[in-house]
């Protein structure tokens, strides 16, 4: 499989690395977009997009971005802060009264964004089909008791983040969560990105599959062992309740729903464009972006069972093999399940987006994305 698209001659080593990833035994489809100083220097894609590995990956092929969606939601919420319609340190219950149940009246909006709310999992029983019922899931979140006092610890909220942040956004903005986020970010920047994909765009969406044989790094193996052997562990529940969370990626119902923790549909160009919009000041004022990318949570993550660092809706860099963006210490962004990655490095003025339709097992950064980001850094 040969890469398609464009690569500035300065970044020939990145194109070579991309081509080698395309030749890997289990490779299917990949895309990479990098902007430097607002200029697109790399826009590559290649491989196949469909289930039968017959349809070539196109320039406008969309793919599920998983948790790369989370920063889009955070930015929409932070825009409400900039507009004076929301306060970061106000109780969530001020905007969502039912949320105060079970002692959650002390949880602030800030706690939701930096994963300190103690709500990484839906601890009440819900059915598989409830995943697609926004009202039902928000009611379940309101009925949950926190796993720890607000601010006392942090634990990544892989799916509950979408209902928590999204419902606050919905109540203040007035639009559904996905509509508000897309209008405030993607449409404002002219990006090809969806939360709640119209059926008319289904033909462009790549089929996602899981790679085989790779057990991942130590962090991935630790989390996998817990989820397989401890069904009542908070980490297990976080990834398996509703039970349809891990099995619905390619279903039309998943694409239609608006779940801003995990089901944004876009491509590498839209991810890089989002981060360029942040670097250029088009999405947030400088002071709010600085606050969002300041360290809020650091240390052992009670959900991921490894060390993590978070700002407000963004994962921050940390010098660990499984958690670095591979550029400057001020880089910020977010990985998505299975390999997708989006981030910005303000020191180098880099906006980076990588997507794939073959999911790897890694908890934080995927080695494929890291290889490309390091290659970009070496070319600068």
- Summarised one tens digit per residue, pLDDT across range 244-277 is 998 999 999 999 999 999 999 999 999 999 999 9
Q: Give the residue among 155, 125, 148 at the shortest CA–CA distance from 137.
A: 125
Q: What is the 3-state secondary structure (H, E, C) of 3-31?
A: CEEEECHHHHHHHHHHHHHHCCCCCCEEE
Q: Per-residue pLDDT for 150 more than 80?
A: yes
Q: Please tell me the predicted confidence (pLDDT) of residue 322.
A: 83
The per-residue pLDDT for 199 is 97
Query: Would you state the pLDDT for residue 218?
Result: 83
pLDDT digits (tens, 9 = 90+) for 179-200: 999 999 999 999 999 999 999 9
Mean pLDDT of the chain: 96
Given a cut of 90, whether residue 38 has pLDDT beyond it is: yes
Q: How far apart are the first and last CA of the chain?
A: 27
Residue 213 predicted with pLDDT over 80: no
Residue 28: band (very low, low, confident or very high) from pLDDT cuts 50, 70, 90: very high
pLDDT per position as a tens digit, 99-116: 999 999 999 999 999 999
Q: What is the 3 state secondary structure string of 236-271?
A: HHHHHCCCCCCCCCCCHHHHHCCCCCCECEECHHHH
Residue 224, pLDDT > 90, answer no
User: Can you tell me the mean pLDDT for 350-373?
Assistant: 95
- Angle 70-82/177-184 helices, nearest 10 degrees? 80
Distance CA 300, CA 305 (A): 6
Q: Is the per-residue pLDDT at 321 higher than 90?
A: no
> How many Cα neighbours within 13 Å face the side chain of 175?
14
Mean pLDDT for 151-172 is: 98
Position 216 pLDDT exceeds 90: no
Does the structure show a pLDDT above 80 at 34? Answer: yes
pLDDT of residue 280: 98
31, 354 Cβ separation under 8 angstroms:
yes
220 pLDDT exceeds 90? no
CA distance 9 to 152: 49
- Asked: is 1-380 a CATH 3.40.710.10 domain? The reply is yes
pLDDT classification of 1: cutoffs 50, 70, 90: confident
Contact 40, 349 (CB under 8 A): no
Distance CA(310)–CA(122), nearest Å, equals 21
Higher pLDDT, 361 or 20: 20
Q: Is the sign of the CA dihedral 214, 218, 220, 224 positive or negative?
A: positive
- At residue 326, the pLDDT reads 94
- Assign 228 a pLDDT band (cuts: 50, 70, 90): confident
Q: What is the pLDDT of residue 125?
A: 87
Longest dimension (CA), the chain: 58
Residue tagged 């999204």 (tokens): 166
Dihedral pair phi/psi, residue 298, rounded to 5°: -150, 145
Cα 373 from Cα 32, distance rounded (Å):
10
Q: What's the rounded mean pLDDT across residues 60-67? A: 97
Angstrom CA distances, 4 to 40, 83, 165, 177, stand at 15, 42, 37, 35
Query: Looking at residue 261, what is its pLDDT?
Result: 98
Q: pTM for this structure?
A: 0.97
Tell me: pLDDT of 215 over 80. Answer: no
Q: Return d(Cα 9, Cα 42) in angstroms, integer.
A: 9
């Amino acid at each position: 499989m040969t890469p398609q698209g464009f690569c500035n001659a300065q970044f020939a080593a990145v194109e070579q690395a991309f081509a080698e990833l395309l030749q890997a035994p289990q490779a299917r489809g990949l895309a990479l977009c990098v902007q430097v100083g607002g200029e697109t220097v790399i826009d590559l894609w290649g491989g196949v997009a469909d289930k039968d590995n017959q349809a070539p990956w196109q320039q406008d092929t969309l793919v599920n971005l998983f948790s790369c969606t989370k920063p889009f939601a955070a930015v929409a919420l932070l825009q409400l802060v900039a507009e004076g319609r929301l306060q970061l340190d106000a109780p969530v219950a001020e905007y969502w009264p039912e949320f105060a149940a079970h002692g959650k009246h002390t949880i602030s909006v800030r706690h939701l964004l930096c994963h300190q709310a103690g709500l990484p999992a839906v601890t009440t029983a819900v059915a598989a089909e409830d995943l697609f019922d926004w009202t039902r899931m928000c009611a379940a979140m309101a009925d949950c008791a926190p796993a720890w006092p607000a601010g006392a610890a942090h634990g990544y909220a892989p799916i509950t983040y979408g209902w928590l942040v999204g419902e606050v956004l919905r109540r203040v903005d007035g639009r559904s969560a996905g509509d508000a986020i897309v209008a405030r970010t993607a449409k404002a920047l002219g990006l090809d990105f969806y939360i709640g994909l119209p059926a008319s765009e289904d033909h462009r969406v790549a089929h996602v599959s899981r790679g085989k044989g790779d057990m991942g790094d130590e962090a991935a193996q630790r989390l996998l062992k817990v989820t397989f052997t401890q069904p009542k562990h908070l980490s297990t529940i976080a990834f398996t309740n509703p039970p349809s969370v891990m099995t619905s990626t390619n279903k039309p119902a998943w694409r239609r729903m608006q779940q801003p923790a995990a089901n944004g549909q876009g491509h590498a160009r839209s991810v890089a464009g989002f981060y360029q919009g942040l670097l250029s000041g088009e999405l947030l004022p400088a002071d709010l972006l600085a606050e969002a990318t300041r360290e809020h949570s650091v240390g052992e993550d009670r959900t991921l069972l490894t060390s993590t660092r978070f700002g407000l809706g963004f994962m921050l860099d940390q010098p660990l093999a499984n958690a670095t963006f591979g550029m400057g210490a001020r880089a910020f962004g977010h990985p998505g399940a299975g390999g997708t990655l989006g981030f910005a490095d303000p020191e180098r003025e880099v906006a980076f987006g990588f997507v794939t339709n073959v999911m790897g097992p890694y908890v934080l950064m995927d080695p494929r994305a890291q290889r490309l980001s390091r290659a970009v850094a070496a070319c600068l």
